[in-house]
Amino acid sequence: MTKIKAFRAIRPVRNKVHLVASRAVATYKSSVLEAKLESNPYTFIHIIHPEFSEKEGEKTEPNSVERFLKVKEKYKEFCEIDILKKDENESLYVYRQSNPKHSYLGVIGGASIQEYKDNKIKKHEATLFSREAMFTNYLQVVGFNAEPVLLSHKKSHELDDILAKIVEQRPEYEFATTDKMLHELWICNAEEVAQIQKAYEKIDACYIADGHHRTASSERLCDLYKLNPDYDPKKNYNYFLSFFIDEERLNIFSFNRICKSLNGHKPSDILKFIEKHFTISKIKNETSPYPAKMHDISMYLDSEWYQLSLKLDTHKVESVVANIDAEILTRYILTPILGIEDLTQDENISFLSGADCHKKIKQSIDNNVNKIGFLLYPVTMEQLKSVADNNLIMPPKSTWIEPKMRSGLTIFKIDE
């Protein structure tokens, strides 16, 4: 059973939603971020970066309580001048993000922290204590959550039928963004909310596709509220803002690797070392050198693209994680040959995802910025679920999952 909670969203007014909703701040280059803050007084980034117009000496420390209080003040200002307004009734929100290639359709609502504790909402990624603590503190001070966690679940034909009827109606929001995405949002009435909740009761588990730190931080905050004598199990702090989506509608892309040095080896030595675990062949189609199947890795080295095909007879499988190509690359090449022990800390390695990744790798190596690059086959949904079902953790930077949600579209007030 999956519980999805209706809530009263704080939302941008219709004529400003395209100006308010933004991508996650970390996805913007500093120059673009500065331009958006200078040119758009309505962007939600002003709430996240409330000190943009202040002088350097007057700014508070990043991630401090003082900074979070300014975020809260800016949020209140947006509400007071009617950029953001709260819905009168609790609802669920059907949201669709689409481009000519793909359509992501799902439901925004509250996900149960108790189900997360009971492992009915499953994780596949490790979280850092420091980030959990920081974000818990942030949520406690500002009192709202503005970016949904991405939760996937098995396909439900019953839910599909409900959503199909809802999206036939005119959406409350319909706007395009510069990444060529169309965004649409529908506010469900009481009957539609009940139908959706009933359909979710037949779904046994959800999987965190994106937002592990936000989920863990919401759990920590809920535990703090439970210490209060006036704790109320019906309040929003028992839930976290989520976008529920059928796993078949998700797109999973690979996170590819590029390294600055060859750890003192010559390219010819690298090829000899790799031959122990891979069959090596040159890739003729350089316009699309991506691996065609699992356990094939594409490598760019010394101005050549190579296909590395894993020799299964030398590959030892201790768990489902060992069969993930990112782990195979680390185990047989990155650590023993290139000397990379910790992917999260080593400055010799960086990660790339997205369109034309092979061009970026080739250009970087041809220009002598980096020395070697790898393209991986994407992790499958079955692999991701298997890792989560076995309470294991994916290798770092294994997946790039879309859709990427906008901040400030439906704000979830925590203590309500």
Tokens of 65: 């309580």
pLDDT value of position 248: 96
Any alpha helices (H) in 40-175, and if so which ranges? 45-48, 65-80, 113-117, 129-142, 157-166
Same domain for 236 and 272, yes or no, is: no
pLDDT band at 29 (very low <50, low <70, confident <90, very high): confident
What does the pLDDT look like over 259-278, one tens digit per residue? 999 999 999 999 999 999 99
pLDDT above 80 (res 154): yes
pLDDT band at 356 (very low <50, low <70, confident <90, very high): confident
Same domain for 150 and 231, yes or no, is: yes
Structural domain range at position 151: 4-252+402-413
Centroid of chain to Cα 6? 23
| Angstrom distance (rounded) from CA 390 to CA 137 | 31
State mean pLDDT over 92-120: 96
Same domain for 55 and 187, yes or no, is: yes
How crowded is residue 339: how many other Cβ atoms within 10 Å of its Cβ? 15
240: Cβ contacts below 8 Å, ≥ 6 apart: 110, 111, 113, 116, 145, 149, 214, 215, 218, 219, 412
pLDDT higher at 139 or 127: 139
Same domain for 342 and 208, yes or no, is: no
Coil, helix or strand at residue 323: helix
Burial 347-382 (b: 16+ CB within 10 A, else e): ebbeebbeeebbebbbebbeeeebbbbbbbbbbebe
| Angstrom distance (rounded) from CA 63 to CA 61 | 6
Same domain for 144 and 267, yes or no, is: no
pLDDT band at 52 (very low <50, low <70, confident <90, very high): confident
Tokens of 303: 């101005």
Total number of domains constituting the chain: 2
Same domain for 280 and 227, yes or no, is: no
Same domain for 162 and 199, yes or no, is: yes
Same domain for 175 and 237, yes or no, is: yes
Same domain for 335 and 219, yes or no, is: no
pLDDT value of position 53: 77
